[in-house]
Amino acid sequence: MSFWITVLGMLGLSVIATVIFSVIVWQFSRHLKLVTQKVRQITDDQDETHLLVPSHDPLHELVQEVNRLQSQIRHQSHQTMRQENELETLIKNLPVGVLVIDRFGQLQIANTAVQELLHRDIRELPHSYLEEITQPELLAMINQVIQQQQSQQKND
């Protein structure tokens, strides 16, 4: 009889240990899913809130690093946007004509001086530079820049 009591006791302890282990694994996987979801939100730039987990949580350090990374990415993104705005303002106000055409032939920036030279009012950007430039000499120069990937200039 004591044999069966020992077996049942061990079986009971095994069931309890399995339940406790399952709860721990379930909590860990739930937190891991939250961290994974947060990383996705950061890469998609969808959410600015930070994750909070107790300091005794096994994922605490990982969550802290994810939060720090998110703050750093947000700061760099704002800094880049500010610099882009400053550059665009500078280019738009230069007294010389400036066209910025990307590698796909899309006109990204056309400052006031170049619009006056082209006798065009360019409002909607980006679009193909071919829609705005009709002067054969200027078209040839732009095509040369695209082909040679070197800046060109012509002084009149």
Asked if residue 126 has a cis previous peptide bond (ω within 30° of 0), the answer is: yes
Predicted structure pTM score:
0.52
Q: What length does the chain have? A: 156
Question: CB neighbours of 122 closer than 8 A, spacing ≥ 6?
Answer: 107, 110, 115, 132
Per-residue pLDDT of the chain (156 residues; tens, 9 = 90+): 677 777 777 788 888 888 888 887 787 788 778 778 877 777 676 667 787 878 888 878 888 888 888 888 888 888 999 999 999 899 889 998 888 888 888 999 899 998 998 888 988 889 998 888 888 988 998 888 888 888 777 776
pLDDT digits (tens, 9 = 90+) for 85-102: 999 899 889 998 888 888
